[in-house]
Amino acid sequence: MKPVIRYWGRKVGPIAASYIDRYSSPKEVVLDPFGGAGTIAETALLMDRKVIYSDLNPIAVLIANAEMSKIDHQILKRASAKILRRKFIPYRDEKGEVSYIARSSLYSVRCKCGSKKRVLYFLWDGNSMVGAKVKCNTCKNPLIKLSEERPFEGEPVYFYPKTRLEYPDGKPFIKRRQVWEVQELFTKRNLVILSTLLNDIKRIKVDAGVKNALLIAFASILYQSSKMSRQHAGSWGINSYWLPKAHVERNPYILFENSLKRLMRKNLVINGISEENAAILHCDARKLPLPDESVDLIVTDPPFADEIQYFELSYMTAAWLGIHMPFNGEIVVNENQGKTFDTYCRLLLESFSELYRVLKRNHRAVIMLHEEDRNKLTRMIRSVKEAGFSIEREDRVKMSQRHVGDRNTTKGSNLLILTCYKI
């Protein structure tokens, strides 16, 4: 089933299923302390296990909550319908005064057949709008060339992020090219629309579960609403903040409506499962709020050394939602954060030692490692052993379509899976 929101490293859920089946029984507790988008936890939940999900990344936790918590779909439908009923969008004009524009007019053009049509997306070449894709049953080629269409230049009335793409100490993100601030990633039109949409979500009175679902639906459209979105590129394929010369400007309201539909379809699967079977924690894997020897099985996919900068790539969403990113606790290799591979291994060892503490004796931890450098991989395996685990077996699984980070398509294709035993 298509995920609600793009998150890096989702492919390990199906791989985890065989290990969950082999090393645990129904109703036993399965822990994933590096939970990410929740695919391992969700797999265990659907296999009738009790699940403890944890992650330090607040955006990952937000995603897991939306995908694994029960949501009242009728309330969600009513809330989203109310939000989508908005007819006029406020903006500040060149004099700084508040004006209103019809929402429909922001994404509409005169078609070749002469009628006004809703725009699915505008085509940009650099700073110029050069085309518009519309849905028209009359015209055979509903791609309209634009030559004199002026871009919308209004300013948002409501909150939008003006934060810089940098760490708390002022050093710039590693995954950043040609852009310094979050707002630079969006056209004026979509800044105005997104800020209005977010304001309407924040103001609507619903329970926490529905509010969380609305926020995740909003978060899921940010990339495609940005200038990073390209005509035939699909999801966030280049894991960096950058401004391609040619990009598309998509209608956030269409994206938001489609995202809500995906969320409800996905959540229907979870809605039949008791909420008592899942605990979703936002905490550091080195300091789990769990008793000693309380977990029957650990299955986890720790963060890649330097291949994916999870916290950086979550920052755009965090900036829009006003969420603090705890960069100091991130387990990663990142020279701008002053985190070397030695730092990464030390943090991993602290995490693995904590996993050893909470795992029951004579039980197993399944740890998935991504690294093609043999020397680095040896160091990571040593961290597992130094934490106290005995390695019972090693499996290598071929990963498909792992085109992430700066690595090429021939590297990073193997996943090393360690089955570890606590005596």
Does the pTM exceed 0.85? yes
Residue 275 has pLDDT above 80, yes or no: no
Alpha helices for 322-400 (secondary structure H): 341-358, 374-386
CA 95, 97, 99, 103 dihedral sign is positive
pLDDT surpassing 80 at residue 138: no
Name all contacts of 46-53 with Cβ < 8 Å and 24+ positions apart: 46/269, 46/273, 47/17, 47/20, 47/21, 48/277, 49/20, 49/24, 49/277, 49/297, 50/277, 50/278, 51/277, 51/278, 51/279, 52/279, 52/281, 52/290, 52/295, 53/278, 53/279, 53/280, 53/281
Give the pLDDT confidence of 186-207 residue by residue, as tens digits. 999 999 999 999 999 999 999 9
| Among 163-167, 189-193, 228-232, the least confident range | 228-232
Distance CA 153, CA 87 (A): 19
- Residue 419's φ and ψ, nearest 5 degrees, are -95, 110
Query: The dihedral of CA 405, 411, 414, 415: what is its sign?
Result: negative
Out of 15-24, 57-66, 301-310, 397-406, the most confident range is 15-24
Phi, psi of 124 (to 5 degrees): -120, 145
Average pLDDT over every residue of 336-361: 96
For the cut 80, the answer to whether the pLDDT of residue 403 exceeds it is no
pLDDT of residue 407: 41
Domains contained in the chain, CATH given: 12-69+273-312+321-421 (3.40.50.150), 73-266 (no CATH)
pLDDT mean over 229-250 = 83
